[in-house]
Amino acid sequence: KAGVTQTPRYLIKTRGQQVTLSCSPISGHRSVSWYQQTPGQGLQFLFEYFSETQRNKGNFPGRFSGRQFSNSRSEMNVSTLELGDSALYLCASSLEPGVSPNYGYTFGSGTRLTVV
Amino acid sequence: QQQVKQSPQSLIVQKGGISIINCAYENTAFDYFPWYQQFPGKGPALLIAIRPDVSEKKEGRFTISFNKSAKQFSLHIMDSQPGDSATYFCAAILTGGADGLTFGKGTHLIIQP
């Protein structure tokens, strides 16, 4: 059974550019969540998508956006990149939205974004 | 502000010893508390989880202890092995909500052979 696939694994971008990251969830999983991981702030919730709709967004500026397609695949976009956006971006899929004793996240291995 | 505070930041334990990681939360609405294990180059993976109506949960060598009145919970790894060397994150969530997991800052655990 294939896991959560994130592409690309590594990315180097210049300040001011924009970037799009992709996430393919586990087959049958309908919810996709995105997290940012940095040494200073740890793991922070970005947003969650279910049935092509954003359920909620964490405390991130409008430069961070995402979308989900009808096949549950998701993309996140960061515009006007800043040095502080350098991070590991993790995607997690689950059968239903959120996390509960009945179902939980499966995380991908992440996309390492470096902004120079 | 929703926060989960985790300690220690790093921990070194001898093989066969007990590793203990502690977390404290603020938001009493949280109703599910998972622990994740992360190896370098990989995403976090669910290790064990607990609901606040249970004071302890054990799965193999891993045990969660939960103190609802103190708003604290901890992970105990018994008979720690070198393969347990990883970063561990506690987390909390309001199930049914839409805010995602709130994570602790992580504990880098090293098990010395």
Model confidence pLDDT, tens digit, residues A44-75: 999 999 999 999 999 999 999 999 999 999 99
Secondary structure of A4-42 as H, E, C letters: CEEECCEEEECCCCCEEEEEECCCCCCEEEEEEEECCCE
Q: Do B101 and A45 touch (CB under 8 A)?
A: yes
Q: Point out the residue among B45, B97, B105 whose CB comes nearest to the CB of A42.
A: B105
The minimum CA-CA distance between A45 and chain B, rounded to whole Å, is: 6
Which residue in chain B is spatially nearest to A56 when comparing CA positions? B98
User: What is the SS3 assignment for B96?
Assistant: coil
Nearest in space to A29 (alpha carbons), one of A97, A95, A105, A100: A95
> For residue A58, what pLDDT is reported?
93
Which of A38-42, A75-79, A84-88 is predicted with the least confidence, judged by mean pLDDT? A38-42
Q: Point out the residue among B42, B100, B103 whose CB comes nearest to the CB of A48.
A: B100
The answer, for B45 touching chain A at a CB cutoff of 8 Å, is: yes
Which residue in chain B is spatially nearest to A45 when comparing CA positions? B100
Q: Are A69 and B70 in contact (CB under 8 A)?
A: no
Task: Tell me how far apart the alpha carbons of residues B73 and B66 are, in angstroms, rounded to a whole number.
Answer: 4
Q: Do A45 and B100 touch (CB under 8 A)?
A: yes
The answer, for A39 touching chain B at a CB cutoff of 8 Å, is: no
How confident is residue B67, by pLDDT bands cut at 50, 70 and 90? Answer: very high
Task: Tell me how far apart the alpha carbons of residues A51 and B85 are, in angstroms, rounded to a whole number.
Answer: 38
The answer, for A50 touching chain B at a CB cutoff of 8 Å, is: no
DSSP calls for B13-54: EETTS-EEEEEEE--TT--BEEEEEE-TTS--EEEEEE-TT-
pLDDT at B1 over 60: no
> For residue A104, what pLDDT is reported?
85
How confident is residue A1, by pLDDT bands cut at 50, 70 and 90? Answer: low
Mean pLDDT of chain A: 95
